[in-house]
């Protein structure tokens, strides 16, 4: 026996033949999006078929319009979120790992220097060197000291160290701020997409519940009519 050919549908938008798995009927689209589609396509058939590609385009335009009404002009981040909704992409990512992979050798070195300069190990080592320096030049080598009191050479070394350490720490802080800014942007995109997805789910659930209530009401009406008919037969 020959197998029956799978049923196909014609998309109302692109007019292409699609498999039922490549789209959905218009009745299942949530009301707000359906109204938006009807505004764009006055000839829209409420019981027709639309493919997922065209539905994604309408959904992207709908989300863009909603965001423009709520927050005004859209930023590049907002457009990225809208594109991710259409492509069903995941926006959450490990910003720290991505940021570290782009660091140069000099940037990594400055970060390590800044990290070491702000640790107890550096403070203890630095203080120990100062104490040893003062003891050697002030006590052990009082006559032939290479840096006698008031330790001018030590002051010069400390000044050079401070002059070098300050820019290194500032460069490291700038990278920390850049990393935090990227993390904040990623959090904003994830939160915005989550908010839009939750709103979409709420509307979809409300639409499904409304359809179920209508079906239950129809079934209840049929049951009432059957009971009334049975009652009339018994009375007759």
Q: Where are the domains of the chain?
A: 8-89, 92-236
At residue 74 the predicted structure's pLDDT band, cuts being 50, 70 and 90, is low
Q: Which pLDDT value is given to residue 2?
A: 43
Nearest to 80 by CA among 183, 186, 178: 186
Nearest to 85 by CA among 181, 198, 183: 198
Q: Which pLDDT value is given to residue 124?
A: 92
Nearest to 74 by CA among 63, 64, 85, 62: 64
Per-residue buried b or exposed e for 10-41, using 16+ beta carbons within 10 Å of the residue's own CB: ebbbeeeebeeebbeebeebbeebbebbeeee
Q: Is residue 7 scored above 50 in pLDDT?
A: yes
Q: Which pLDDT value is given to residue 144?
A: 77
- 64: tokens are 């863009």
Q: Which pLDDT value is given to residue 116?
A: 84
pLDDT per position as a tens digit, 31-48: 777 788 888 887 877 777
Average pLDDT over residues 188-216: 74
Question: H or E stretch including 49?
Answer: strand 49-51
Q: Is residue 83 scored above 80 in pLDDT?
A: no
Average pLDDT over residues 110-132: 87
Q: Which pLDDT value is given to residue 35?
A: 81
Q: Which pLDDT value is given to residue 8?
A: 77
Of 104-108, 116-120, 141-145, 203-207, the range with the lowest mean pLDDT is: 203-207
Nearest to 95 by CA among 193, 191, 185: 185
Average pLDDT over residues 131-158: 83
CA atoms within 13 A on the CB side of 98: 10
CA dist 195 and 121 (Å) reads: 46
Instruction: Give the residue with greater pLDDT, 129 vs 219.
Output: 129
């Amino acid at each position: 026996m020959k197998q029956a050919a799978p049923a196909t549908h014609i998309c109302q938008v692109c007019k292409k033949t699609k498999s039922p798995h490549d789209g959905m009927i218009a009745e299942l689209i949530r009301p707000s999006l359906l109204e938006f589609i009807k505004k764009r396509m006055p000839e829209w058939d409420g019981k027709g078929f639309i493919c997922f590609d065209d539905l994604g385009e309408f959904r992207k335009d709908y989300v863009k319009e909603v965001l423009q009404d709520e927050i005004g002009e859209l930023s590049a981040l907002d457009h990225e979120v809208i594109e991710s909704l259409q492509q069903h992409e995941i926006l959450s990512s490990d910003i720290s790992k991505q940021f570290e992979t782009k660091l140069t050798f000099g940037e990594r070195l400055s970060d390590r220097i800044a990290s070491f300069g702000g640790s107890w190990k550096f403070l203890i080592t630095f203080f120990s060197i100062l104490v040893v320096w003062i003891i050697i030049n002030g006590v052990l080598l009082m006559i032939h000291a290479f840096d006698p009191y008031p330790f001018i050479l030590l002051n010069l070394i400390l000044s050079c160290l401070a002059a070098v350490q300050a820019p290194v720490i500032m460069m490291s802080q700038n990278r920390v701020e850049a990393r935090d800014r990227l993390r904040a942007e990623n959090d904003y995109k994830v939160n915005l997409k989550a908010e839009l997805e939750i709103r979409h789910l709420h509307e979809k659930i409300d639409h499904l519940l409304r359809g179920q209530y209508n079906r239950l009401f129809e079934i209840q009406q049929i049951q009432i009519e059957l009971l009334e008919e049975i009652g009339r037969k018994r009375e007759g």
